[in-house]
Amino acid sequence: MTRALVLGGAGFIGLHLVRRLTAEHHHVTVVDDFSRGRDDAELASVCVDPAVEVVTGDLTRGGTWAALPRDWDQIYLLAAVVGVRNVEADPARVIRVNSLAALHLMDWISSAGTVFFSSTSEVYAGAVDAGIATVPTAENVPAMVSDVAAPRFAYAISKLLGESAVLHGARAAGGHAVVGRFHNVYGPRMGVDHVVPEMSLRAMRGENPFRVPGADQFRAFCHVDDAVEAVVRLMASPDAAGEIVHIGNDAEQTNIADLAKLILRIAGAGAVIAPAPAPPGSVHRRCPDLSKLRRLTGYEPKVTLDDGVGQTFAWYRDHHRHDT
Ligand SMILES: NC(=O)c1ccc[n+]([C@@H]2O[C@H](COP(=O)([O-])OP(=O)(O)OC[C@H]3O[C@@H](n4cnc5c(N)ncnc54)[C@H](O)[C@@H]3O)[C@@H](O)[C@H]2O)c1
């Protein structure tokens, strides 16, 4: 049985990944400090499987790492402080947690096992802003930070350090690592800050007029099942070792006002769209170039926006009734 370590496995992408790994009969150990991940019924339902173990631990502390066995087949580092609200509120915490987790992993990596490091499209957002990178965007555009002092870039800076630390650390230890840069992953159990659940909950409350920040912007949303499929395929591809690979869904570049209309339609609400300014610093358009991911893994995104948003809306309707 393959042994997998999922660091940050109680979070959004983490728990979906754990479900997938256990369905494929991996033995999975989750480490999480529950700063954002939840000890909820969904985690409990996964833990019913005796092949899943959950360890509560803070990955910024050396002691947490020292207590972990090192003989894993697969190691996934998903733990991080994420979300625009967290990044704006406490950029120092973002730098501290994300960098320390990656640096401890770098020191701890052995030649055994393949490491997956979760990075983000934000690492090249400055290059898109500056007109240096085209959209859809490939991995070989320059990573760029427009303003080191701006809180928003703390996240990108921490993830760039992580990419470099994990790739070089694995190589130095004689092991393998792959970096996946997620692009706008959404789905059930992702918290309430992201645009899909946030708009869904407002639509359920019957907001009218319906405020749509960044209504003229475009994103390519990727359902979490597709993102997990890409991660699993990358970990199974020997050619992906040492590579940085964009993960997302390039099938539908969606205008945010159209996303709002879709959500209102699913909610059965006839509200009027009220465009509002975009959150400061967010790029006008984002879409990954997935040529490299396709070449390495044969991946194709499967979940349409209509299906994925419908399924996500239904999950929030069932789990957040008290918010409506
Ligand atoms: N969701 C997306 O669209 C997206 C986009 C780009 C990158 N990513 C990256 O993917 C990864 C997973 O993102 P997510 O959306 O599932 O976020 P999430 O917040 O749901 O999951 C992160 C998990 O890490 C845990 N964690 C945080 N600090 C920790 C610490 N010090 N010790 C142990 N655990 C800790 C949290 O409790 C949480 O369970 C992150 O690294 C994120 O930067 C996600």
Quickly list DSSP for 20-79: HHHHTT-EEEEEE--SSS--SHHHHHHHTSTTEEEEE--TTSHHHHHTS----SEEEE--
Q: Please identify which residue in the block is written with the tokens 């800050």.
A: 193
Q: What is the third-level CATH fold of 3-187+220-252?
A: Rossmann fold (3.40.50)
Say if residue 213 is preceded by a cis peptide, omega within 30 of 0: no
What would the two tokens of residue 248 be?
Answer: 């997302």
State yes or no: cis peptide before 238, omega within 30 of 0: no
pLDDT tens, position by position, 15-55: 999 999 999 999 999 999 999 988 999 999 999 999 999 99
Token pair 């319906």: residue: 210
**Residue 79 CA: which ligand 1 atom is closest?**
24
Reading the block at residue 92, the tokens are 């120092």
Copy the structure tokens of residue 324.
């409506």
User: How big is the chain, counted in residues?
Assistant: 324
Break the chain into its structural domains and give their ranges. Answer: 3-187+220-252
Which pLDDT belongs to residue 29?
Answer: 98
Residue ranges in the chain modelled with pLDDT below 70:
321-324
- What is the token pair recorded at 166? 């994990």
pLDDT value of position 324: 44
Query: What is the residue with the minimal CA distance to atom 11 of ligand 1?
Result: 78
| pTM across the whole model | 0.97
Q: How far is the CA of 82 from the centre of ligand 1 (A)?
A: 6
CB 279 within 8 A of CB 213: yes
pLDDT at 313: 98
> Which residues lie across from 274 on neighbouring strands?
211
Q: In testing the pocket of ligand 1, which one of 31, 82, 226 has its CB within 8 Å of the most ligand atoms?
A: 82
Question: From the CA of 11, how far away is ligand 1's center (Å)?
Answer: 6
Lookup result for tokens 């209102």: 264
pLDDT of residue 323: 47
Alpha-helical (H) ranges within the chain are 12-23, 41-47, 62-66, 84-89, 91-108, 125-129, 152-172, 195-204, 224-235, 256-267, 291-297, 305-319
Compute, in degrees rounded to 10, the torsion defined by CA atoms 276, 252, 264, 311.
-130
Q: Are 127 and 140 in contact (CB under 8 A)?
A: no
Q: How far apart are the C-alpha atoms of 152 and 312, rounded to whole Å?
A: 27
Separation of 115 CA from ligand 1 center, angstroms? Answer: 16
Ligand 1 centroid to residue 281 C-alpha, Å? 21
Position 128 scores a pLDDT of 93
Rounded distance, CA 191 to CA 12, Å?
Answer: 8
Q: How far is the CA of 9 from the centre of ligand 1 (A)?
A: 8
Query: Which residue from 17, 19, 32, 60 has its CB within 8 A of the most atoms of ligand 1, so it is best to mutate?
Result: 32
d(CA 204, CA 41): 23
Atom of ligand 1 nearest to the CA of 83: 19
What 3-state DSSP class applies to 142? coil
